[in-house]
Chains A and B, each alone.
Chain A
Amino acid sequence: MAEKVVNIEMINPENLVYQKTKVLNDNVMHYCPGCGHGTAHRIIAEVIEEMDIQSEIIGIAPVGCSVLMYNYFNVDMQEAAHGRAPAVATAVKRLWPDKFVFTYQGDGDLAAIGTAETIHACNRGENITMFFINNGIYGMTGGQMAPTTLEGMRSSTSPYGRDISMMGNPLKMTELVAQLPGTCYVTRQAVHTPSNVRKTKKAVRKALEYQQKNMGTSFIEIVSNCNSGWKMAPVESNNWMVENMFPFFPLGDIKVPDEE
């Protein structure tokens, strides 16, 4: 009975303090409970709604956990081959220069198989916005080592921890693209706390506004947890992310336009 009362109170218009953005539809997301993808989706969708650009934006989905993101967004979207989203986005933007174009990619997609496409799109200064979800692991395929897997971090293909001498170093793609003249705005954010969600949302808005001003590539990394892949409970994985991921992938702006 108590549950029913709460529900009725929640749907009273005067009690409605939060509403899901119309840029996301009502499909149930397939993401694991505790994963950051849903929050990242919501933030991007909210900014699209707030900027009133739903009819002018084209999104490019990756291969990875967010391969089905087009099932949740109420915008025109294309599904790219693994790693190729920046090339796909390049053509869409060049052919439709007045539209907004964004890619949304994970670490395997953007920083391993798609490294060439990422670097060259950024270096050409394609006027697109790239969202990079970095959780240090291949989530969709079941927790294999990613280019961003930390030293000593366990995955199904580094079961004894990432051994640098054998498996190479984790890659800081965001610092790398920040050095390229084509990028105008490069920042690293997270979505594990309300305050970080607010900061990320501001960054998303800035990135799309820079795109509107034709300033070059805007690039936002969102360091995220993967509680399933990391074999941890959601809260535990967020704590682990703060303690282990953030020292290697520090949050904050790496490159901002001169005007700021």
Chain B
Amino acid sequence: MEEYKLMKGNEAIAEAAIRAGTDGYFGYPITPQSEVMEYLMAEKPHERTGMVVLQAESEVASINMLYGGAAAGKKVFTSSSSPGISLMQEGISYIAGAELPCLIVNVARGGPGLGTIQPGQADYFQATKGGGHGDYNLIVLAPASVQEMADFVSLSYDLAFKYRNPVMILSDGAIGQMMEKVKFKEQEPRMKTHPDWATVGKPADRGPNIITSLDLDPARQERFNNKLQEKYKKIREEEILFEEIDCNDADYVFVAYGTSARICQKSLQLAREEGIKVGLFRPITLWPFPYEQIIRLSKKTKGMLSVELSAGQMVEDVRLAVEGKIKVEHYGRMGGMIPTPEEIVLALKKQIIGG
């Protein structure tokens, strides 16, 4: 049955994953997302649903366990934070290349390197532009609340299996650690049947199922790449998600996702109290990115401020969409620092309105 709980974002992901009928979780501890595996281990999902939870020896192992589980037709996920997600990039590229459905959660922190354990949004490029080698894309969802942390789990699995593609939930340490009220869906059963391409043991009535990303013949490898690109085109056409707040009469627009979008909601109120008509455009899918929606908004607004916990990454996509027709600037803090609503309003005035 549906029920409300007060929980951290990380715990909400874990609970939602059990309820989504996940078959397996493979992970490695890293702050600020360790509650995901801690919650799972405490909940004994092997007793609740039969779900497997395994603490791997590294993120490298976790992501390859995900590869194996997904290739064996199971619903699997992993979670980590920025440095751990960097370690997973090789495996993510293989998963994309082998067209395997799975969920990867990044509760991001500030970088580069070991960086900090405080929230960050500096993994945007890594998540949306590739990260690993080769031409591939993840579907990237950016939750801005604990409720969305929970809701995006089953959405991710739906998209992953629909397209045979890995999906990433790109969250951050603030959303992962903060507690909010969250409503859970009823328990879904684990899958009883498995995709016909999965390696589950070859019955007599079919040939072997082979999961690989290797094809040494360049002509065939190019054909495969073209097929991937067709898939990504379809995803771009059909799966864009976004939210607009007060954009209808807005002269200026904040473009922000995740924690930054939450702060911008307050900045928007403060600006409107001063008589500045500001809206908030929140991309929910960071890939595919809502270029068309931003083009449409740019035609009736004077300027956009991309607010991110980074040196300015998503701003490049906003500028690509706007094509120089209106002013687009970036405001952000780095290293785990979080801007106040007031300083964002000030940045809007300085960089967009007054600039």
Residues on A facing B (Cβ under 8 Å) = 54-58, 60-61, 67-68, 70, 73-81, 84, 87-92, 94-96, 99, 116-117, 120
Contacts and interface: CB of A to CB of B under 8 A. Distances in A.
A87 B61 contact: yes
Nearest to B58: A116
B214 A88 contact: no
B86 interface: no
Contacts of A57: 201
Interface in B61-119: 61-62, 64-69, 71-72, 74, 76, 90-91, 94, 98
B200 interface: yes
B61 A116 contact: yes
Contacts of A68: 214
B210 A88 contact: no
Nearest to A77: B210
B91 A81 contact: yes
A231 B11 CA distance: 58
Interface in B186-211: 199-204, 207-211
**Which size class do B's interface residues fall under?**
35 or more
A95 B26 CA distance: 11
A117 B60 CA distance: 9
Given A88-B68, A88-B71, A91-B26, 18 more contacts: A58-B72, A58-B199, A58-B200, A60-B68, A68-B214, A78-B212, A79-B210, A79-B212, A81-B94, A87-B61, A87-B65, A87-B68, A90-B65, A92-B69, A94-B52, A117-B64, A120-B57, A120-B61
17 contacts: A58-B200, A70-B212, A75-B202, A77-B209, A77-B210, A84-B64, A87-B61, A88-B68, A89-B68, A90-B61, A90-B68, A91-B65, A91-B66, A91-B69, A91-B76, A95-B23, A96-B72
A74 B208 contact: yes
Contacts of B210: 70, 76-79
Nearest to A93: B68
A25 to B, nearest CB: 8
B21 interface: no
Contacts of A67: 214
B60 A116 contact: yes
Contacts of A54: 202
The listed residue with most A CB atoms (<10 A of its CB), out of B23, B66, B91, B200, is B200
Contacts of A88: 64-65, 67-68, 71
B50 to A, nearest CB: 10
